Amino acid sequence: MQAAATLAPVSLGADTPEVESWPFSVELATPTIGAEIGNIHLADIDEPTVQALRRALQKYKVLFFRDQDITPAQHVALARRFGDLEVHPSIQHHPDHPELVVFGHDGNSRGRENVWHSDVSWREVPSMGSILRCVDCPKVGGDTLWVNMVAAYENLPEAVKDRIAPMQAVHDGFPVFGIRLSPELARNWQRDFPAQVHPVVRTHPETGEKILFVNEGWTTHLANYLQLEPYRVGSDARFGELDLLAYLYRQASQPEYQVRLKWRPNTIAFWDNRATQHYAVSDYFPAVRHMQRATIIGDRPR
């Protein structure tokens, strides 16, 4: 009998000294993803620190910062140090800073972000990263999880890697955002934000890492499945595609690739949106959870 394959998460070097001397403290959150960054005030950082944070982000995929009492203007200015910022077409904005989206839930609004996703992968140019700050958090509940999709790809069986290497996936925001719109506004959305085709396996533009780039939130189907997969009858093709997508979606659910953050007010998370997915746990209703996020424009997946 063939032995079962074992997971081999990407190591962040938990048992080895840091190669780089950081201008801030670094405490690993898990062996595979995440680090808590200390001895830093994000409202006042110089350019060498910005570049060090960029390198840390590439290595750890998501960075956590505690006790960052910054204003919305400082939040926007911080994010802009890493690139141009997007203005989201549907989510509520901060009244003075359209680059900040506001997630506010309480006894009148239940959280709906509880699905694994990569922010705005439905755009032609998805985001490079997101910087999320807790303004008001429940004492218990409302955690967020991130998953290392580099590790998820690297641990796939070689036969699956070969199978998905040429595949393209369709990402579409309309099924989520379009249902809230009038027919006219829905047509405008589809005109302005048509579904996009991205590779199932993208390459990180800075590290060269291979990334499994499909997510349950926005990936609707595989664009070229019928051209690549043999089938006997049409139903074979449809069910085969759904089975493969479900298998790829499930890779995000492996705890070995994940990190979980318990929020406190003025906690900030900064994640590489190209190499991760995240999931906001909606277990806190009817408590108040108020978050603000700036999103940095990235590059077209290749």
Catalytic residue numbers? Answer: 117, 119, 278, 293
* Distance set, CA 181 to CA 90, 92, 171, 191, 214 (Å): 10, 14, 19, 14, 26
Alpha carbon distance 88, 123 (integer Å): 11
Angular region, 208: left φ>0, alpha ψ -120 to 50, beta rest = left
Alpha carbon distance 117, 149 (integer Å): 11
CB atoms within 10 A of CB 278: 26
Tell me the H-state helices in 201-261.
225-228, 234-250
Half-sphere exposure of 152 (CA within 13 A, CB side): 27
Burial class (CB in 10 A: 0-12, 13-18, 19+), 123: buried
Alpha carbon distance 55, 61 (integer Å): 10
166: CB partners within 8 A, 6+ apart? 224, 228
